[in-house]
Structure 1
Amino acid sequence: GTGRSHFATQTTAPINGEFLRTGYTVEAIFKVDPEWSATTNAWMFIMGRDGKRGELPGWSGGGTESPPLQFAISNLREVQWEPTMYRTNNTPYATAAWSGEIMNDTWTHVAIVNDPESKNTTMYVAGAPVLRNVNGAEGIAGFPNNPWVIGAGMWNNGRGGGFFGNISEIRVSKGALTSSQWLTARKARVKGSGARQAILGGATDDMISGNPGADTLTGGGGADTFVFNTSREGMDTITDFDPADNMVNVAGLLQELLYTGSDPFTDGKLRLTDTPSGAVLQFETPGRAGTYRNLVLFSGVPATQLHGKSVLIF
């Protein structure tokens, strides 16, 4: 596509001046749309850096109109990781790592890890290393006043390569992270064992599930996910929900309700209401269209801070 829908860092964002020459880990969780076609969607970008790599000082090589970073999906639905890197003499050049074909309509986690010692770059898809990687690669070159862009790319300084699908999360980290530090690292599972319990998470990332009764849930520290799998639960209360770090997973609940759409708020299956104690997430009562039951109270958090879908997994 033309890339009209995308996110770009501000011109003053510190990451614009980062060239990551001491190692890096780039991760993305995304899903290619089931209607993807090579004719209309080839070379769509997950992420890129703006500019023309041929204008980088000392550039050598072809494809001068291409941007300094191409993190894209090829016409064969391969993941392409093609950064502009630095040789030992500081001159920039580009080479690519490639995955095999990835499936559409499937959530995929990709990690690209650049080791600062060996200067080798390895791509992992669903945790497994691919065969076509890059050796002797240092950094990701770019222009310090140009943005990083998510969901679109650039060619010859013109916007294009719009991503057709869903991008859940992208993270750029300094250093070579191990798999235990990736976005896919498993959360500690905390589960109730009765009814009407006070359930407390730990200091790290937790996945917290309540009981059939009305429970009081406290995440503690970390990025916690609160899981609701059934309409038979009483209204739980989350005491310390932080919209910046925490999530609510209602995929199991919506599956029980036989919901197959893409936006349960617009479709009337879920809604947020405000109460003096905080926002309440409600679901449509099975068999009674237009009536709702309480699922969870976000204690002390107004609905305006939750932004509906942004804190939900469904």
Structure 2
Amino acid sequence: MIANRLKIACIAVMMLAGCSSAPQSKWAHPPMAVPFQPTIQQQIQLARIDQLLKRSDLDNNTLAQVYYERGLLHDSIGLRDLARLDFNQSLSLKPDQPDVFNILGVYFTQSAHFDAAYEAFDSTLELNLRHPFAQRNRGIALYYGGRYDLAHEDLVAHYQQNVNDPYRVIWLYLVDLERTPDTAQDRLKQRYEVAEKQEWGWEIVRLYLGELSESELLNRIANESEDNDILAERLTEAYFYLGKIYHHNRDYQSALMLYKLALSGNVYEFVEHRFSLLELSRLMAEAKREQETEQSDS
């Protein structure tokens, strides 16, 4: 029981700084990119928008668009509270914006307000049934909300729109791991075999299938990325989806480090970065529940 308490305490400390009693693992010296920083162009654009909002001759539709664009800029540099304020302001001026409902749904998912997320994505699809991301995002929100059958319906429909997109296959696999774990690997392989496999993300699928080792994947990313931007983006994806597998297997310390690595590149606009903080919260809650169960059984 003392060992279990130490494990939970160590995970909690690692959330903030790192735990000296943790074993030296394969993640001790992982490949990393220089974290994204706000560019001069982004800062200039924000300044211009701030000046534009001081004008008194803009109608509501124009103001709504300006607030939406500033929200996207705030989101792209990680200022998500400011972004959410801008999106809400935009929506108050022009309520029929599917893109705004969609991004707010993602924000609700990140903060684990799942009912609000479902409503936001429903509103997006009511306004634009062909919205390219709302069905996927609703499926992911349903997955995080534990409604796996409904998540599967959304993600299957989204997958069928483009069977050559590796990320649609990956999210379906993650849902299958919860719904039908005995057949999840077979279904993943079937979807892999029928795809054209031209996008980089199929390397992650190959990892999941056991055709590629973790070190091979990370070495390829480190050696083949053309610049720091590509390196940061691919590492964000790789660390997040690696973390998902370790998390599923209840290797909480490895999953913890991988989610933190997924956050390290500051690739704020990627869903893998967006949901890493949510995964860290879930991980801590699961580790605590396991500790409480073990204590009650002892």
The reply to whether TM is greater than 0.5 is no
TM-score normalised over the length of structure 2: 0.29
TM-score normalised over the length of structure 1: 0.28
